[in-house]
Structure 1
């Protein structure tokens, strides 16, 4: 704290001063004086007696510094980083996704935000319990269910930068550690499609065949042990207030060591579009809250085995954004009544857990459906 030599301290700030229920004369009687600095409506001058500075100054300045840091962070340009060997390359991050634009099931968005809020405020809690100040999320589900959009929404909500880690460009564990050390605090570190980006060797490195990456990167010597240390080892605590996010289409393919609490603390299933999620999409894309065909659509979505991802339905709505009636009729046509839902009652709130082959068939049907919807006007 700077040494104050003046008998009366003068603090000028651009924040409005609240008296906490006292009027101005009452505040003056307690040694607080507030006046407009130059007849401008927002700046204020706060004066108090030198004898009161030990009580007022620390808390007040802490508040000002925290508010200034929050404003600076909100207005600061944020970046998306991608790795190239053992270094990062940056590009401005301007993704517009928010929790309000996501097609999530009831309560899911609020639960995620509550967890993020607790993490953001939990510095003393983590330190008191001897834990690194970090959080891990696993996003899993079929393609097109909004995993990347949720990552962007989390980054926007927290006002964090994103480090998009491409494992196929990491040569070995040493480079992985170097990349980790270059990340900053208040950042989201993402590994997408972790189940198929590279083949990780076992922990002792004995399996030479599994040390090879897929595609052309056959010289990769990235091990499972190295990735575990990246997310939860001693080096992971060298930068604080960081979020690790893994994504996968097939959760069952991931080594269980990567999924345990402390590495992936929260597992978030992003599944096919439910009626509640559809209503949110319709509100965002069509600007409607209710529609006469909603009851029929709700029944059709519950009674058919056909399932579409939010991305597939969003494409229909975008193609018919000027005609809500046409858009909803086309969505309704995608759920035929003569195909009963044989998967009702499965785990995860009735959401279907598909095998690899079933998922590929669903994705193919969705792709063909959207293709025919987009080309029917050309026929």
Structure 2
């Protein structure tokens, strides 16, 4: 009985409170807009004295300027897994969905173990005062509630986290670009780089590489991308260098594309022969953006970077304009200029950059390019191994396992075929997976049993030429076999 009396009294108090609040709201509605805003702020201040939370307003417009923090909060909350009150939209000619917050909905978030509350308020704008900039009809804003005892400790780090999260989301959603440098360092518009959308489909899931080595590379990339504080604390420029070396067709370009897609970085394909001097090289570096991969492919062919004791390490570039010949370095790119580009003072003019060099002949590079601090990670892109073969078979044929796999594993190591060679056979017979594996096995055996090249003194004196001849002969054998199969198939159709 006493419990029932207490509940009745509580309900009466709540009803009285509701009546008072409604009366105040009706009275407030009759007030002029400026007075009503001041009254609401006064009531919020009074209520905050008795509240366990501190609240902050984040409006979409601050005077006549757009509040960037409002957009950051909206993007952060829309992409948080704990938020459920969202709207899903899709724009015209787009295959992706966009998530936005529902009007006047409340959300909860957790940061460092602290429960945080949000409210997305959307009201009609009442004031029609003069403004140089037309204001939207709706007044939008967020209200943030943080426990009072945690406000000083959480507020600034939490807002910083929101801005970083929103920036990361924007970067991942935007289209990535592939840049190349213009001849003479500047194009007709005065820009040193031309760009096109970067749509390369290669990812680490599709890359034909040993899974263990692949995991090491992914872990190294992730550690670099999250290492801002580490590089600041150690006084190092936030950059990293990768040297990809191996025979043609081993997947060096696909590796670069997989790295760019994994990190969502832009790619700058630097053509050294188009830059005439060290000064132009530095200008190109200055005009690159953060969170990018700067690539110099086939660096052994781009410049003369052999042993500096044998010959000067610079490339001569013809100029259409008269140049004072007394200046020996007026039209050259030197090895020291390239080293300063990647590891000198000019390399720290930006942050979160990755330098990638590729070469088919590691032995041709100057040791100065290979030392620690310039190329932090050397990645050998080798012949196709059995783990890499399984990835290629899965990608091309959709097969995870097959009875021919043991035989393929026995013959692949001695066959020494590149992933490009294997892919060519799989693409040819992709509509008939069993035959594709049979043809692949035959190609392994044929390559394995092929007699070595005729011995000659030139092979020992020039191992690079021997390697090129071996690669060309392997590719020719595969092409001849495919052409022979095509002719047989065509003959069967005619008969």
Using the TM superposition, give the Cα deviation of residue 119 of structure 1 relative to its aligned residue in structure 2, in angstroms. 0.9
| CA offset digits 1:113-151 (Å, max 9, x no partner) | 111111111122112222111000000000000000000
User: What's 2:153 paired with?
Assistant: 55
Local SS of the residue matching 1:330: helix
Larger helix fraction of residues? 2
Which residue is equivalent to 1:176? 281
Deviation by residue 1:69-117 (Cα, 9 ceiling, x = unmatched): 1110110111111011211111111111100010001311110111111
Structure 2: gaps of 5 or more residues: 1-40, 46-54, 59-72, 84-106, 123-140, 186-191, 319-329, 453-461, 489-495
In structure 2, the CA distance between the partners of 1:177 and 1:337, relative to structure 1 (3 Å rule), is closer
**Do the aligned partners of 1:79 and 1:92 also contact (CA within 8 Å) in 2?**
yes
Contact 2:313 2:334 in 1 (8 A): no
Residues in 2 aligned to 1:207 and 1:200: alpha-carbon distance in whole angstroms? 9
Return the offset for 1:209: 8.8
Deviation at 1:53, TM superposition (A): 3.3
1:309 maps to which residue?
418
* 1:116 and 2:221 aligned: yes
Q: Report the aligned-residue RMSD.
A: 3.4
Which residue in 1 is equivalent to 2:343? Answer: 232
Matches within 5 A, 1:168-247: 168-200=273-305, 211-212=315-316, 221-247=332-358
Instruction: Name the SS for the 1:261 alignment partner.
Output: coil
Contact 2:305/2:366 (8 A) holds in 1: no
Q: Is it true that 1:97 corresponds to 2:202 in the alignment? A: yes
**Residue matched to 1:320:** 429
1:267 equivalent to 2:378? Answer: yes
Say which SS state the counterpart of residue 304 (structure 2) adopts.
coil
Q: Distance in 2 between matches of 1:279 and 1:255?
A: 36
TM-score w.r.t. the length of structure 1 is: 0.82
CA separation in 1, counterparts of 2:117 and 2:313?
A: 75
User: What is the Cα deviation at residue 200 of structure 1?
Assistant: 4.7
Q: Is the 8 A contact 1:199 1:212 kept in 2?
A: no
Q: Is contact 2:179–2:269 with CA below 8 Å preserved after alignment?
A: yes
Deviates more, 1:369-378 or 1:162-171: 369-378
Question: Relative contact order (C-alpha < 8 Å, sep 6+): which is higher?
Answer: 1
CA distance in 1, matches of 2:148, 2:165: 24
Aligned length: 348
In 2 relative to 1, CA 220–290 (structure 1 residues): closer, same or farther, beyond 3 Å? farther
Q: Note the C-alpha offset of 1:342.
A: 11
Answer yes or no: is the 8 Å Cα contact 2:411–2:448 preserved in 1: no
Structure 2 equivalent of residue 370 of structure 1 = 478
Shift of 1:364: 1.4
* In structure 2, distance between residues paired with 1:375 and 1:68: 54
Instruction: State the match for 1:167 in structure 2.
Output: 272
Q: Deviations over 1:227-267 (max 9, x none)?
A: 11111111110111100000000100000001111100100
Q: Which residue of 2 aligns with 1:9?
A: 56
